[in-house]
Amino acid sequence: MHPTITPTELAREAGMDRRDVIEKCMETGVPIFHGRIDKTLFLATLQEQAQRHANLVKTGRTHMMDATPITFGQEMSAFVAQLDIAERTIR
d(CA 56, CA 84): 24
pLDDT tens-digit series, residues 2-22? 578 788 887 787 777 888 888
Cβ(57)–Cβ(50) below 8 Å: no
* pLDDT average, residue stretch 42-56: 85
Neighbours of 61 (CB within 10 A): 11
Structure confidence at residue 37 (pLDDT): 82
Is pLDDT at 1 greater than 60 in this prediction? no
- The residue length of the chain stands at 91
